[in-house]
Structure 1
Amino acid sequence: MSVLDDDSPLDRLNSQRTDKSAEYEAKKQSLLVKHNREVVDRLLSTNLTRPIRITKVHVVNAEMLRDTFLETQLAPLLNNERLDLHGLLKNLDLTTSNFARTSTISNIGAMLEVDPTPSFVTVPPSTLRIIPVIQLDPIKRFNMKIGTNVGNGEGDGYLSLQYRNIFGGGETISFDTNMASNNLNSTSRSTYLLNFQSPILNNANWLGSIMGYHSSKLVDWTTRNDQTIEGITLKSISQYKSPWNYEFSVENTLRSIDLLSTNSLNDTLLMNAGDSFKSSFNFTCKYDTRDDSILPTKGFHSSGSIELSNLLPSPNFQESKFVKLTSHFQHAFSLNKIIFNGLFKLGYIHSLNHSNVHFMDRFFIGGPNDIRGFTLNGLGPKLYGSPTGGLAFYGLSASFFTPLPFVDSESFKTHTFINAGKLITDSNFRDPSVSIGSGLVFKHPIARFELNFVLPLSQSHYDTTRKGFQYGVGISFM
């Protein structure tokens, strides 16, 4: 008995077709999905232990992809070594995942057909000869977004351009710019980013990128200054389906600090004013089993990174050489619709040439997305009221999320938390600053919004507290 009948429902529908109306296309797609499910169910029920041989692979809508790239993504399906139905479905899943991770398609479908043609290769009589059919929906190659926001004498504008699958192998070039002002006729922030990224050697597991950028912003949480960064960064990022992933990068940047005020002058800023050059090597290792990165309900996340800065000689700049270590741990679980999140993070900078670490490389903590109940970067020592940063820190957080009463939505939650942390400058790890609070959380697909009432419980004499309501937006919170 053939697994796939010659007179399938799809064939009967095609024979009765009189036009290509939307109703016909919808019915055709529905029958196609139903028929494919029936084929797979019959294959599973009657051929679970039979040996499998893939005679060929049929790919629909592959014209936009080059041959070498296509062969690499289809490699799991071309493996016929000791293949059974379970192994075939596993390889089929890996193939569809390969295409999805290369950002070359908007959607993908797969079905299995039995090869009706006679075999010219000697195979055991019980071998089931299969033709996988891969249906690709190519991604839109060009995309542009532009917008503005204006109000109360301030505003911003942005432009984003993206051209994808340039050479038929998942290559993407993008340009993003953003300009903002908090005063009429003046610019407080501008960013330009040009980025080219592509799978490395057609491998969906590794993505390489080259970024050129320019960023200028007005900093007013310390002595008022303009900070400018421009440079080039090369990155290699893994995209494995396993929890473990890695990132390597090489960064070369020219930085500038332009002091705008001489009132309450921060000596640390004064020493670092002007131009400086930074060249660094970075490595990050991540382990992530969370079901969501913005507001997880279960899973564990840990990451550790090391940065080696200015190890190569710079003829025109005398820069500090240092090693920077950071770690992050988070655990989430749920119990009767109550979500618990626990988080711990820490960092340490060690100077290699006994010089002062640059102001832009130091740690700053505190604020609505960090240790709540304190102003932005408000923890740690101050000089004339301006933060100077630190060479080590740690932070802890415990949060409980519960559904809103009488609101049937997974996006809105109530939030109760306790935060603790310390910016370390004198080897004293004890007596952290602590705050508690409660509020509302809205989880959007691309960000998290919080409105909390916070109360600092303990702080050092140089911390700047923020009692009352505090609003935060971001993708990473304590």
Structure 2
Amino acid sequence: MGQLQAKEMPKQSFDEFDDDSDDALLSHVIEAPARVDRVKVEGVGRTYDDIITDSIKQTEIFKSSTFGQVILQCHEVRNQLERLQCFQGVQIEVDASDGPDATPDHGYEITFRVKELKRYRAGVTTTVGNNEGSLVVWGKLPNLYGRGEMAELSYVYGTKSLLYNLTLRKPFFGPIDSILSGTLLRQTNEMPASSAKLSEQGLVLDYSILFQKVKNSIEWNGLIREILPASRDTPFAIRESAGYTLKSSLKFTSALDQRDDKILPRQGRYCQGSVEFAGLGGDVGFQKYSGLYQVNYPLASFITAQASVDAGILGSFSQDKTFSLCDRFFLGGPLSLRGFSHYGIGPKSDGSSLGGTVYWQSAYHIYTPLPFTKPTKGSFSDNFRLNLFANAGCIQDINASELKDKWRRMGEQLRISYGIGLAIRFAGLARVEINYCIPYSYQRDDSVVPGMQFGFGITFI
């Protein structure tokens, strides 16, 4: 938080207070007249002055008229400096101003002491994805050119994937922050549900804008993709998609997150929508729409009702350009439609999932604290919840033009499951679920998982 130093108040100004009137004394100090005469930032090396000056100008520190406002604006300036991601520490010092231009009696000089990030950083960490753990070896060059730019090289070795990427990121600071990034990547992902492997290499350009709690991004993907059969037993329907494809697509995503926690929220809502158009070059062409909505409602102290719905549709532009196996939707898993194996729902060929072009799923949860515990926010027991859930959903391979005529099939082939389990917030970054699942309604080809099911990841419904 830093040091706070201020001038001693005149003793006669406190005569009206009793010795025990702490609240009145505090109110008097907060409301005491104050004016900021000067702001200094010390410890700056390679960071340019313009982004620091612009960050300070976005606050109202020079408009402060009371000592309480000065303190609040000091913290606001610190937040603005930290958001530049150029410093690893910002300390605050408030002192009486002096000199011929100082405001008599209530002028203050604010000093922000910063420590810049090192020129390079590297490390080895572990991460978790959806039912996958990964080892990450990374290196970063933060604040590369003095205005928050960053270059990052990473190698990710997962249980089902392998990734190399080089990312260059350029932030733009202002009333609305934005980030322009470019990534060169090469990755391989296993698709065990489809008895295939996917290899991708290419370039991804992304421009993201964060306004209040709404994040909008425009992304261009230029990827060379290869689908390979995972074994000799891979069915012919999967082998038909094998080989190389060139994808050039433009994707727009918008997300609003008003939840009080991303892993175990107690209140708030989250909604996300995305639109992707492929066919701007290459031999892949499609239009893809998807959306997710989640609402959390507190029923009582640490008891929450949650409802989510997720849906998507995929269609091709023409017969000349179509989509591949890796562009389709897949459904099922311990963090989506519980009681079914990962991507175990929908059309199949000899037990291998073919994916679908239309899907929807919904989930309903009641979260309660563990028995005989009285959790408080931030306590260890706050990371655990009993989870009563019910899921429903369906996925079909239907052309977009036939959707109105065949919509009834989406209801006739409904999958339903319910159960009880334990939801755990892991390290504040991921979610672990241990559930006892009861598949209630399913189709003959579905891969059901009755009984205990374990899952962990960062996205869930």
Q: TM-score range by the shorter chain?
A: 0.7 to 0.9
What's 1:206 paired with? 178
Q: Residue type matched to 2:200 in 1?
A: I
Q: Which has the higher contact order (CA 8 A, sep 6+)?
A: 2
Equivalent residue pairs, number: 419
Note the C-alpha offset of 1:104.
Answer: 2.0
Q: Is 1:252 the equivalent of 2:218?
A: no
- In structure 2, which of residues 149, 160, 163 is the aligned counterpart of residue 191 of structure 1? 163
Q: Residue type matched to 1:357 in 2?
A: F
Q: Is 1:333 the equivalent of 2:297?
A: yes
Relative to structure 1, is the Cα distance of residues 191 and 463 closer, same or farther in structure 2, using a 3 angstrom cutoff? same
- In structure 2, which of residues 437, 444, 455 is the aligned counterpart of residue 472 of structure 1? 455
Pairs within 5 Å for 1:56-67:
56-67=38-49
Instruction: Provide the TM-score with structure 2 as the length reference.
Output: 0.81
Instruction: Provide the TM-score with structure 1 as the length reference.
Output: 0.79
Distance 2:274 2:158 in 1: 32
Note the C-alpha offset of 1:42.
Answer: 5.3
SS at match of 2:284: coil
Distance 2:143 2:28 in 1: 37
Distance 2:181 2:324 in 1: 27
Q: Is 1:353 the equivalent of 2:318?
A: yes
- In structure 2, which of residues 102, 111, 134 is the aligned counterpart of residue 133 of structure 1? 111
What is the aligned-residue identity percentage? 22
Q: Is 1:284 the equivalent of 2:253?
A: yes
Deviations 1:194-220 (A, max 9, x none): 112131267871122111111113322
Distance 2:236 2:86 in 1: 50
What's 2:199 paired with? 228
My pick for the range that moved more, 360-369 or 89-98, is 89-98
The answer on whether the counterparts of 1:40 and 1:112 sit within 8 Å (CA) in structure 2 is: no
Residue segments in structure 2 that go unaligned for 5+ positions in a row: 11-23, 128-132, 376-380, 399-406
The answer on whether the counterparts of 1:98 and 1:204 sit within 8 Å (CA) in structure 2 is: no
My pick for the range that moved more, 65-74 or 376-385, is 65-74
Q: Is 1:306 the equivalent of 2:306?
A: no
My pick for the range that moved more, 245-254 or 365-374, is 245-254
Relative to structure 1, is the Cα distance of residues 236 and 90 closer, same or farther in structure 2, using a 3 angstrom cutoff? farther
What's 1:399 paired with? 365
Distance 1:132 1:392 in 2: 59
Distance 1:148 1:343 in 2: 29
Distance 2:393 2:315 in 1: 20
Distance 1:429 1:397 in 2: 17
Pairs within 5 Å for 1:386-465:
386-407=352-373, 409-426=381-398, 427=407, 428-431=409-412, 432-444=414-426, 445-465=428-448
Distance 2:83 2:183 in 1: 20
Deviations 1:240-265 (A, max 9, x none): 4x222211211111100122434351
What's 2:30 paired with? 44
The answer on whether the counterparts of 2:291 and 2:310 sit within 8 Å (CA) in structure 1 is: yes
Q: Residue type matched to 1:250 in 2?
A: W
My pick for the range that moved more, 203-212 or 229-238, is 203-212
Relative to structure 1, is the Cα distance of residues 3 and 263 closer, same or farther in structure 2, using a 3 angstrom cutoff? closer
Relative to structure 1, is the Cα distance of residues 78 and 338 closer, same or farther in structure 2, using a 3 angstrom cutoff? closer
Relative to structure 1, is the Cα distance of residues 372 and 232 closer, same or farther in structure 2, using a 3 angstrom cutoff? same
Distance 1:90 1:346 in 2: 44
Distance 2:166 2:123 in 1: 15
Q: Is 1:116 the equivalent of 2:116?
A: no
The answer on whether the counterparts of 2:248 and 2:284 sit within 8 Å (CA) in structure 1 is: no
The answer on whether the counterparts of 1:76 and 1:94 sit within 8 Å (CA) in structure 2 is: no
Q: Residue type matched to 1:100 in 2?
A: E
What's 2:403 paired with? none
My pick for the range that moved more, 406-415 or 389-398, is 406-415
Distance 2:454 2:54 in 1: 47
Alignment RMSD = 3.2
